[in-house]
């Protein structure tokens, strides 16, 4: 890792990726990817399977280190130098493609664990649930519509409910920016519409990046779209704008 200073770029962006390259045994999952997300924005990222969408999230959250390029958060944090826990505590929350909740904990405990709080070992050992936290948990259960299920094990939730629980856990972390990977995969139409509502609600106070295949869902969100292809940006703009782009049509139709 080169301790290259990240100065030089003056930007208002909350998230700034420039020339990010990740290769796995020579195969470039990300190829000089550049992306700028403004505070408060909601951005949809689309692209065929294998375009590098999940890898991009891995890079932002510290799971994968890029070979080249800059990844900068809020103009002052070089994310390529930090580990997963540090990045999470800076205020970047992530929902995985495959829903991952803590199955042996109750719904409420899943949210409790995620609540923003001092995470050093000894303060967690002696942590007591405060009334403010209890209130926040009630709110989160309300937002995710999981209130009736608060005392059951997360393992018992349906697929859609797990996705919402995971989004609730993200909110509990009180992040500035949420990265949401394919939230509606495997959901019914009603659940999909509900998820769009939830994300729009969240976007009122936070920046959101959503990766999704489902075009109806993306249209529903009505936000700026970035099309990824073979690890770099193919097109960017409104959904109508990018779907009129010939290269995008070719990538999607010529698969």
Partner 1 sequence: MTPAVRTALFGGASIWLLGLIAALAVIVPAMNLLMPPDSAFHLSAFAVTLIGKYLCYALLALSVDLIWGYCGILSLCHGAFFGLGGYAMGMYLMREIGDRGVYGNPDLPDFMVFLNWKELPWYWYGFDNFGFAMLMAVVAPGLLALVFGALAFRSRVTGVYFSIITQALTFALMLAFFRNDMGFGGNNGMTDFKDILGFSVQSDGTRCAIFVITAIMLAAGFLVCRAVVHSKLGKILISIRDAESRTRFVGYRVEHYKLFVWVLSACIAGVAGALYVPQVGIINPSEFEPANSIEAVIAVAVGGRGTLVGGIIGGVLVNAVKTFFTGTLPDFWLFALGAMFILVTLFLPKGVIGLFKKTGGIGVKLPGLGKLASGAAKEAKP
Ligand X SMILES: Nc1ncnc2c1ncn2[C@@H]1O[C@H](COP(=O)(O)OP(=O)(O)O)[C@@H](O)[C@H]1O
Residues at the contact surface with Mg ion, assessed by CB under 5 A: 54, 97
Give the separation between CA 98 and CA 185, rounded to whole angstroms.
9
Quick one: which of 88, 90, 89, 70 has its CA closest to 80? 70
The verdict on 74 binding partner 1 (CB under 8 A) reads no
- Minimum CB distance to ligand X smaller for 115 or for 225: 225
Of positions 31, 54, 61, 203, contacts ligand X by CB under 6 A: 54
Helix ranges, 71-158 (H): 84-90, 107-114, 121-125, 131-143
Of positions 47, 93, 168, 183, contacts ligand X by CB under 6 A: 47
The verdict on 84 binding partner 1 (CB under 8 A) reads yes
Which listed option, Mg ion, partner 1, ligand X, none, makes contact with residue 47 (CB within 5 to 8 Å by class)?
ligand X
The verdict on 52 binding ligand X (CB under 6 A) reads yes
Q: Cβ-count burial of 7 within 10 angstroms (0-12 exposed, 13-18 middle, 19+ buried)? A: exposed
The verdict on 125 binding partner 1 (CB under 8 A) reads yes
The verdict on 103 binding partner 1 (CB under 8 A) reads yes
Q: How far is the CB of 117 from partner 1 (least distance, A)?
A: 9
Give the separation between CA 233 and CA 229, rounded to whole angstroms.
6
Angle at 49 between CA 48 and CA 50, to 5 degrees: 110
The verdict on 129 binding partner 1 (CB under 8 A) reads yes
Q: How far is the CB of 53 from Mg ion (least distance, A)?
A: 5
- Minimum CB distance to partner 1 smaller for 38 or for 109: 109
- Minimum CB distance to partner 1 smaller for 113 or for 233: 113
Cβ–Cβ under 8 Å, residues 8 and 72: no
How many contiguous H segments (helices) and E segments (strands) does the chain have? 10, 10
The verdict on 114 binding partner 1 (CB under 8 A) reads yes
Quick one: which of 107, 167, 161, 159 has its CA closest to 137? 107
Which listed option, ligand X, Mg ion, partner 1, none, makes contact with residue 112 (CB within 5 to 8 Å by class)?
partner 1
Cβ–Cβ under 8 Å, residues 79 and 73: yes
Give residues in contact with partner 1 (CB under 8 A).
61, 63, 83-85, 88-89, 93-94, 96, 100, 102-106, 108-109, 112-114, 119-121, 124-127, 129, 151, 153, 155, 169, 173
């Amino acid at each position: 890792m080169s301790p290259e200073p990240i100065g030089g770029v003056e930007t208002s962006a909350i998230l700034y990726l420039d020339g990010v390259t990740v290769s796995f045994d020579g195969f470039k999952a990300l190829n000089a990817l550049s992306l700028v997300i403004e505070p408060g924005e909601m951005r949809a990222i689309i692209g065929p399977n294998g375009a590098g969408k999940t890898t991009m999230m891995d890079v932002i959250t510290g799971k994968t280190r890029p070979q080249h390029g800059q990844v900068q958060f809020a103009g002052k944090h070089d994310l390529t130098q930090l580990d997963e826990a540090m990045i999470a505590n800076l205020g970047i929350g992530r929902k995985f493609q495959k829903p991952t909740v803590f199955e042996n904990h109750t719904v409420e405990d899943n949210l409790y664990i995620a609540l923003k709080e001092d995470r050093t070992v000894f303060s967690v050992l002696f942590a007591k649930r405060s009334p403010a936290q209890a209130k926040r948990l009630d709110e989160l259960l309300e937002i995710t519509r999981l209130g009736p299920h608060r005392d059951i094990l997360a393992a018992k939730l349906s697929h859609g409910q797990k996705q919402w629980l995971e989004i609730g856990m993200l909110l509990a972390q009180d992040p500035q920016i949420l990265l949401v990977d394919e939230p509606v995969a495997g959901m019914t139409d009603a659940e999909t519409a509900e998820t769009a509502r939830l994300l729009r609600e969240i976007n009122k106070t936070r920046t959101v990046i959503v990766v999704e295949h489902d075009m109806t869902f993306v249209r529903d969100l009505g936000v700026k779209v970035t099309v990824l292809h073979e690890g770099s940006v193919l097109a960017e703009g409104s959904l109508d704008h990018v779907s009129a782009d010939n290269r995008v049509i070719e990538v999607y139709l010529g698969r």
